[in-house]
A and B are shown apart, each in its own frame.
Chain A
């Protein structure tokens, strides 16, 4: 079992293997994501009923919650890829980590912007300095720090390692975001979706929300594979197979 896992791990850590296998994966994941997100948004925005207190303004949840989930999940992906890269010195882990950063940044930004748009009509404020909002802003700043650090070094390998260390230090922020609404008094409401209990949300709203979250995860998978493929071609351009592939792409 362990042997099989190690063999699988080694196979996937080869940039060439990854480049070939990720082509069909990104295609199918991408289309499944488009389908899921489109269905979820049409359902959620047009067919779900209004909310008893918030009326129509709650509907931004179908973008806000998936974006916020993804911003945190992508950060953990970057940190784990960084750790794998640092310990096992696997180049591919650094390539993937680097290409996850712009995706995570855009998700954190989307979560903050949709949150502000939601906050104004419900709370009466675009922004408050409560623990949830502040820790989410710190996540965005961490992403920007990773982005800067990866591009700040003369040698790309040094940038990769420095960013991986920053990513690991910043992991402490993730449980703080998650539990901020339970540990402290915040204006932001506690979590609706919990593993431990049923969501206090009507099924006509819950199903499109879950679909949207799944769709966002798949879209991240597809987007990350596509970006990592380009990163592989760029960084492996001295390898013979990569040069042939670049020539083939240029010919098309």
Chain B
């Protein structure tokens, strides 16, 4: 390779490596800000600020959804299987909202650790299966379906 070309190639590689390191350092420093939501464990540990709008994410705990009669108020628990957060929401839930499925709630945490949400977003996972297959797997006690 002629020396001039080699020099230009090395310059480009060093430039790309330099920019990458700089950006990765910035992202590492800002890692908490880049996260879209707090997990219930982080909230339990007191890492989430109170009385300002935050997002919390996790699974809707099975059997925790309680609707009230005569209003749209609904209470449920969001869990990461280590800690739980009690959530109160008044409004229409997204179609994919279900017990045992992922959810992100946007709202404020009060001093009693009750999370009052003004938006509920449903989070789905990366699995794509037809309903009959899931049903058949459950019938057979397939391990993939047991912890759902």
- B-contacting residues of A (Cβ < 8 Å)? 49-54, 58, 61, 83, 86-88, 121-125, 128-131, 168-169, 171-172, 176, 183-187, 189-192, 200-202, 204-205
Question: Main SS of chain A's interface residues?
Answer: loop
Contact B128 A192 (CB under 8 A): yes
| Set of chain B residues within 8 Å of A58, measured between Cβ atoms | 128
| Set of chain B residues within 8 Å of A202, measured between Cβ atoms | 128-130, 133
Question: Main SS of chain B's interface residues?
Answer: mixed
| Contact sample, A vs B, 15 pairs, CB 8 Å cutoff | A49-B132, A52-B130, A52-B134, A87-B9, A122-B95, A125-B119, A176-B23, A183-B31, A183-B34, A187-B121, A200-B127, A201-B127, A201-B129, A204-B130, A205-B130
Contact B27 A176 (CB under 8 A): yes
Top 6 nearest A-B pairs (CB, nearest first) are A124-B94, A49-B130, A130-B36, A200-B127, A201-B128, A52-B131
| Set of chain B residues within 8 Å of A191, measured between Cβ atoms | 126
Known: A52-B129, A52-B134, A53-B96. 18 other contacts (CB 8 A): A52-B133, A53-B98, A54-B96, A58-B128, A61-B128, A87-B5, A121-B95, A122-B94, A123-B123, A125-B121, A129-B36, A169-B15, A183-B31, A184-B31, A185-B37, A185-B57, A187-B36, A189-B124
Instruction: Tell me how far the C-beta of A85 lies from the nearest C-beta in chain B, rounded to whole angstroms.
Output: 11
Q: Which residue of B lies closest to A170 (CB)?
A: B19
Q: Which residue of A lies closest to B39 (CB)?
A: A185
Considering residues A49, A124, A129, A130, which has the most beta carbons from chain B within 10 angstroms of its beta carbon? Answer: A124
Contact B126 A51 (CB under 8 A): no
Q: Which residue of A lies closest to B125 (CB)?
A: A189
Q: Which residue of B lies closest to A189 (CB)?
A: B126
Contact A187 B123 (CB under 8 A): yes
- A-contacting residues of B (Cβ < 8 Å)? 5, 8-9, 12, 15-16, 19-20, 23-24, 27, 31, 34-37, 39, 57, 94-96, 98, 101, 104, 119-134
Q: Which residue of B lies closest to A134 (CB)?
A: B34
Contact for A86 among B8, B101, B123, CB less than 8 A: B8
Whether A124 touches B5, Cβ cut-off 8 Å, given contacts A52-B130, A130-B36, A190-B126, is: no
| Set of chain A residues within 8 Å of B128, measured between Cβ atoms | 51, 54, 58, 61, 192, 200-202, 205
Q: Which residue of B lies closest to A133 (CB)?
A: B36
**Cα distance A189–B121 when bound, in Å?**
13
Contact A184 B34 (CB under 8 A): yes
**Cα distance A54–B98 when bound, in Å?**
12
Q: Which residue of B lies closest to A180 (CB)?
A: B34
Instruction: Tell me how far the C-beta of B144 lies from the nearest C-beta in chain A, rounded to whole angstroms.
Output: 8
**Cα distance A129–B57 when bound, in Å?**
14
| Set of chain B residues within 8 Å of A184, measured between Cβ atoms | 31, 34-36
Contact for A168 among B15, B36, B95, B122, CB less than 8 A: B15
| Set of chain A residues within 8 Å of B119, measured between Cβ atoms | 124-125
**Cα distance A87–B96 when bound, in Å?**
52
| Set of chain A residues within 8 Å of B31, measured between Cβ atoms | 183-184
Contact B5 A88 (CB under 8 A): yes
Instruction: Tell me how far the C-beta of A161 lies from the nearest C-beta in chain B, rounded to whole angstroms.
Output: 11
Considering residues B119, B120, B129, which has the most beta carbons from chain A within 10 angstroms of its beta carbon? Answer: B129
Contact B8 A122 (CB under 8 A): no
**Cα distance A5–B55 when bound, in Å?**
54
Q: Which residue of B lies closest to A171 (CB)?
A: B16
**Cα distance A169–B14 when bound, in Å?**
11
Contact for A50 among B20, B96, B121, B131, CB less than 8 A: B131
**Cα distance A129–B37 when bound, in Å?**
11
